[in-house]
């Protein structure tokens, strides 16, 4: 008798645990049964399938347009950097030219020139202009004018010639800055056109999904539509924010 009672109390915790597991399984099964079953989507009609296929084709074109927009936006950013660099170069050339103008304000002592001094001055001018052209401080056209003495007097004192060369460098840097500005504006215009084409393609793809009546199947929420028109793909907006 004592052995039977002892066995009963020993097996009681295991039986209780088993009942707990059974109750949890029944509760889980009841919860799964109570979940609403989503009805399968109705099959697409012919026009819907055509609209969905068209939306896919437009989406592929939009991906290519996005790559083009990214490339043109990068080119525009590079053009902006070139404008900044050109301005710094012009600013430095302008500073040196103004310093040369202040130095040239003091009159040079007039004296009789030695034999061959004019030839020495001419050689100095040609050498200095050639070195400046090699450093890309003046253009080839400007160097040709110096060598041909078009607008240049090779008999002037080297101090005066140096000031004139600094003015030529400033004019060249200014021309480079203006050209960089034009290129930046052209790059911005091309980037804006590419962004507009991308927005148009994405809007057309979204409209095709709406016409097909399957936008809810493809798009989870409205965030997808917002992501299609990011400000980084809109140069005009990005430029205004900057």
Domain boundaries, the chain: 45-104+117-241
Specify the higher pLDDT residue, 87 or 9. Answer: 87
Other Cβ atoms closer than 10 A to 1: 5
Let me know: does 163 contact 103? Beta carbons within 8 Å.
yes
Question: What average pLDDT does range 200-204 have in this prediction?
Answer: 85
Tell me the C-alpha distance between 61 and 239, whole Å. Answer: 26
List pLDDT tens digits, range 122-142: 999 999 999 999 999 999 999
List pLDDT tens digits, range 4-13: 545 544 555 6
Mean confidence (pLDDT) of the chain? 77
Tell me the C-alpha distance between 32 and 6, whole Å. Answer: 41
Q: What is the pLDDT of residue 31?
A: 63
pTM above 0.75, yes or no: no
């Amino acid at each position: 008798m004592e052995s039977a009672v002892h066995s009963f109390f020993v097996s009681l915790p295991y039986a209780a645990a088993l009942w707990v597991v059974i109750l949890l399984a029944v509760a889980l099964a009841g919860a799964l049964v109570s979940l609403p079953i989503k009805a399968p989507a109705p099959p697409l009609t012919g026009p819907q399938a055509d609209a969905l296929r068209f939306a896919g084709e437009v989406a592929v074109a939009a991906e290519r347009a996005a790559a083009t927009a990214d490339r043109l936006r990068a080119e525009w950013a590079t053009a902006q950097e070139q404008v900044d660099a050109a301005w710094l170069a012009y600013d430095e050339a302008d500073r040196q030219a103004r310093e040369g103008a202040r130095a040239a304000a003091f009159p040079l002592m007039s004296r009789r020139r030695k034999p061959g001094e004019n030839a020495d001055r001419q050689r100095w001018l040609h050498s200095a202009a050639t070195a400046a052209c090699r450093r890309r401080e003046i253009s080839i056209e400007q160097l040709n004018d110096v060598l041909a003495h078009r607008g240049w007097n090779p008999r002037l004192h080297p101090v005066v010639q140096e000031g004139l060369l600094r003015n030529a460098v400033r004019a060249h840097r200014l021309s480079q800055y203006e050209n960089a500005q034009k290129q930046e504006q052209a790059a911005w215009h091309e980037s804006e056109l590419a962004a507009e084409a991308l927005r148009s393609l994405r809007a057309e793809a979204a409209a095709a999904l709406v016409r097909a009546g399957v936008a809810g199947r493809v798009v989870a929420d409205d965030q997808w539509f917002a992501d299609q028109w990011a400000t980084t793909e809109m140069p005009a907006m990005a430029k205004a924010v900057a």
